[in-house]
Amino acid sequence: MFKLSKNKEKQYLSELFEFLKIPSVSADPKYNKSVNKAANWLSKSLSNSGCNNVEIINTDGHPIVYGEKIIDSKLPTILVYGHYDVQPPDPIELWDSSPFDPVIKKTDIHPQGAIFARGACDDKVQVYMHIKSLELMIAKNSLPCNVKFMIEGEEEIGSNNLEIFVSNNLDKLKADIILISDTGIINNKNPSITTALRGLSYMEIKVTGPNRDLHSGLYGGTVANPINVLCEIISKLKDSKGTVNIPGFYENVQILSIDEREKIAKVPFDKDLFKKSIGVKDTEGEIGFSTPERKSIRPTLDVNGIWGGYIGEGAKTVIPSIANAKISMRLVPNQNWKKISSIFENHIQNIAPKTVRVEITTHHGGQAYVTPTNNIGYKAAHLAYKKSFGKVPFAVRDGGSIPIVPMFEELLNCKTILMGFGLDSDAIHSPNEHFGLFNFFKGIETIPYFYHNYTKLYKEKYF
Ligand code: BES
Ligand code: MN
Ligand code: MN
């Protein structure tokens, strides 16, 4: 629909680089100023695109940026959601270029070049594609329906304040469909639409033993070592078959039909490439399930971080007073994240020895989500990818989580279409995160098709 001139491409990239240069890390208060700066930048970008009623809404946490273009109340309304906050760039020393100084480099997977920066794929470039798509539609007088934008700054830390904002603004946010580009496609030759997200329960364990770090000679062998205890607890959470050993963990897990599992098996998946791309000798996981199944339709448990004791230079003989671990559980449809968090807590307390004190904190969580494929939103996305990539998109259940999506359904009674353009190899949350230029321009091409297809299908259905 929109073929960009070389000049326009250049202009877009230089604008985008300004956005990527702002270190809008939501998790760390030392970046708060930059988070506000990113919200400001976005609000200006939205206004420049032709959006009306653009506002920066302050919350108890980071601000939400809102804008809308309402052309006719009889026409359908698309609510675009995204996030301008990014993950911390650490470990910085593993980046080949500075995380907040974007550069374009060619890679094997992105021969046309990719933009390297924290937040490139997740989710700044994908948000920017939506703004530019809207700008182009408004400029060419071809915006077919109403649109509302809601871009938040706390997705990476659990969207707590967005939930409050949505509950208090049900009318303002009323829409026919929610559109999000914060996921990916299989690869640049095989487009796909994400039809499921996993739920999440994120926990922290703190094990306390003696009231201070002890000399490991004077005390070694006489008291429980919190790190040893923590390791023992963790080693009991999963067995060698990849099964999570928490009583009740699998109670409500949705079991997929053979038909649905066959569909998953038909989606292109190159196991050797998978292994090679992350540098592992082999995969592992729950017995009886394929790798694509293990990362989509099955729940799992992983330690995300573990610390305690002496980790500085050289050796220090010490029994630590405290050991900590952060543990996440990825959940699937019908598991309730609050219930899972609570059975996790009970189980840990049950198996912990009486020689230590164990404290458990729930960080955040959310439900899994499944997009139906028999509605006009999905159909519109399907046709949009088909047109821009020249290939029918696969429906793929994803392993990541966007907890606000099931929340939208609950509060706004509205379905979400997950039209992402990133690749798994784009290294989101990792050093050297990037986003392909091909993907960037494809996004700008595909999104307007969605608007047009959706409006057309909506009219056929309701007019
Ligand atoms: N955009 C990701 C989620 C994602 C990426 C889903 C790719 C599917 C494919 C999102 O920003 C994210 O990182 N979510 C977190 C959860 C959040 C509560 C911190 C996640 O999945 O770990
Ligand atoms: Mn994201
Ligand atoms: Mn993320």
- pLDDT-based confidence at residue 1 (cuts at 50, 70, 90): confident
Architecture of domain 6-197+368-462: 3-Layer(aba) Sandwich (3.40)
> 234-293 pLDDT, tens per residue?
999 999 999 999 999 999 999 999 999 999 999 999 999 999 999 999 999 999 999 999
The mean of the pLDDT values for the chain is 97
Substitution site in 122, 183, 364, 402 for ligand 1 pocket (most atoms within 8 Å of beta carbon): 402
CA of 428 to the centre of ligand 3 (A): 7
Q: How many residues does the chain have?
A: 463
| Residue 462 pLDDT | 95
Closest C-alpha residue for ligand 1 atom 9: 183
User: CA–CA separation, 373 vs 133, rounded Å?
Assistant: 24
DSSP states of 63-118 as a string? -EEEEEE---TTS-EEEEEEE--B----SGGG-SS-TTS-EEE--SS-TT-EEEST
Helix or strand holding residue 264 (H, E)? helix 258-266
| Residue 2 pLDDT | 78
Token readout for 257 is 């039909």
DSSP states of 167-236 as a string? HH-TTTT--SEEEE--SB-SBTTB-EEEEEE-EEEEEEEEEE-SSS-EETTTSTTTS--HHHHHHHHHHT
Dihedral (C-alpha) 303, 304, 309, 310: value to the nearest 10 degrees?
Answer: 130
Terminal Cα-to-Cα distance of the chain (whole angstroms)? 25
> 347-393 pLDDT, tens per residue?
999 999 999 999 999 999 999 999 999 999 999 999 999 999 999 99
The full set of domain ranges for the chain reads 6-197+368-462, 199-253+299-366
Distance from CA of residue 289 to its chain's centroid? 23
Substitution site in 24, 121, 155 for ligand 1 pocket (most atoms within 8 Å of beta carbon): 155
- pLDDT-based confidence at residue 3 (cuts at 50, 70, 90): confident
> 207-239 pLDDT, tens per residue?
999 999 999 999 999 999 999 999 999 999 999
Closest C-alpha residue for ligand 1 atom 10: 402
User: CA–CA separation, 261 vs 373, rounded Å?
Assistant: 16
Query: What is the arrangement of strands in the sheet containing 357-366, beginning at the earlier edge strand?
Result: 300-308, 322-331, 199-208, 357-366
| Residue 6 pLDDT | 93
CA of 175 to the centre of ligand 2 (A): 21
Q: What are phi and psi of 59, to 5 degrees?
A: -130, -175
Peptide bond into 123 cis (omega under 30): yes
Long-range contacts of 459-463 (CB under 8 A, 24+ apart): 461/376
> 22-71 pLDDT, tens per residue?
999 999 999 999 999 999 999 999 999 999 999 999 999 999 999 999 99
| Among the listed residues 77, 80, 98, the one whose alpha carbon sits nearest the alpha carbon of residue 89 | 98
Q: Which residues contact 226 (CB under 8 A, 6 or more apart)?
A: 207, 208, 209, 308, 320, 321, 322, 323, 356
CA of 405 to the centre of ligand 2 (A): 12
Atom of ligand 1 nearest to the CA of 159: 18
Given a contact cutoff of 8 angstroms between Cβ atoms, the answer to whether 329 and 368 are in contact is no
Residues with CB under 6 A from ligand 1: 122-123, 155-156, 158, 182-184, 197, 200, 364, 398, 400-403
pTM of the model: 0.96
Helix or strand holding residue 20 (H, E)? helix 6-21
User: CA–CA separation, 151 vs 171, rounded Å?
Assistant: 17
> 108-152 pLDDT, tens per residue?
999 999 999 999 999 999 999 999 999 999 999 999 999 999 999
User: CA–CA separation, 102 vs 105, rounded Å?
Assistant: 10
| Residue 242 pLDDT | 94
CA of 83 to the centre of ligand 2 (A): 7
Given a contact cutoff of 8 angstroms between Cβ atoms, the answer to whether 421 and 129 are in contact is yes
User: CA–CA separation, 224 vs 165, rounded Å?
Assistant: 47
Closest C-alpha residue for ligand 1 atom 1: 182
- Choosing among 3.50.50.60, 3.30.70.360, 3.90.1300.10, 2.60.40.10, the CATH entry for 199-253+299-366 is 3.30.70.360
CA of 85 to the centre of ligand 2 (A): 9
CA dihedral sign, ordered 374, 379, 385, 391: positive
Rounded percentage of the chain residues whose pLDDT exceeds 90: 99
CA of 122 to the centre of ligand 3 (A): 5
